[in-house]
Amino acid sequence: MIPTLEWLPEGVNFLDQTKLPLEETYVLATDYQQVATVIRDMIVRGAPAIGVSAAMGFALGVSQSKATDIASLNDEVAIIAKTLAETRPTAVNLFWAIDRMRAKYNALAEAGTSIPEIKAALIKEAQQMYDEDIAACKSMGAHGAALLPQQGTVLTHCNAGALATCGYGTALGVIRAAVERGHNIDVYADETRPYLQGARLTAWELLHDNIPTTVLCDNMAGSLMRQGKIQAVIVGADRIAANGDTANKIGTYSVAVLAKEHGIPFYVAAPLSTIDVNTPDGDAIPIEQRAATEVTHSNGRQMTPNGAAIQNPAFDATPAKYITAIITEHGVLQAPYEQSIKEMFQKAATGSELATA
């Protein structure tokens, strides 16, 4: 399993994904401000990994507090939560994790728990979220593996693998699970401009697991679909609205439209924490705008003329009508998504599972 992030006594250790695939180095964040920088600068990325990173950053900040009374600690907790929440706006797992950590803190504080006990409990909560993420990804793989072809080629966009989670992956976790069950699958990985998560990260980790992988330029998928060379598409998600509309890395929408046109199933794999029932549809999902230099420059060299305007949204929203199924740790959801999502939350609350497709 690829170690994306790890809690250590001295801080949180992150695999630096900006250096992959040529250099495997780690960045140690020793306070919550450094964790926030790691998230903002995409040293760690992927919605589930961002969520767990924020939880660990929260625990780290509280554990290092010098506060001697709850009132003072309350003030620090508010600052810690605000700092972490301002890093990346689209990935709802970030806010889910912060809310969960704040709820845990509030319950302990209101119960009169001592500050040392609060610190230990928050560290334990963050570590539990890490374990839960790996278990959820493996459960997604178990639910989704049968949806992929027994033999054929699967296209993925961006990186929704071990590097985007705590070690197994959502979309790539489904691919891994299918391979483990004997499916003979090759993978096409869109390069995913401008940050090249597919070319740098997806290809690196799949080859690490000996899964045959071919990198495509982002504008090649339609042609290969027309030639019958792609049997399924599977991607991850940074936020899924209540109606099933899904925000994922920019370019996902185009792939989904192409898949629909060519009769190819288009799957989304994401944990329950990525579904935001308070966001009604894709138009209401906040889309992160990133620096123009990610587009204007490559390997330190300017690629566009001075004066050219730049658009660099990190994500787009794919309407639910293009999505064949949404794979979660609790089962496979199908349209109408408003209904199946409500049922999933109800069943998850009782500990039961939805039927797989």
Contact (Cβ atoms closer than 8 angstroms) between residue 115 and residue 70: yes
- Rounded Cα distance, 279 and 55, in Å: 22
Contact (Cβ atoms closer than 8 angstroms) between residue 54 and residue 91: no
Residues annotated as catalytic (active site), given as ranges: 238
- Rounded Cα distance, 260 and 356, in Å: 22
- Rounded Cα distance, 181 and 184, in Å: 9
Q: Would strands 297-298 and 266-269 be described as parallel, antiparallel, or unpaired? A: unpaired
Contact (Cβ atoms closer than 8 angstroms) between residue 102 and residue 109: no
State which amino acid sits at residue 249: K
Q: Would strands 26-29 and 11-15 be described as parallel, antiparallel, or unpaired? A: antiparallel
Q: Would strands 297-298 and 232-235 be described as parallel, antiparallel, or unpaired? A: unpaired
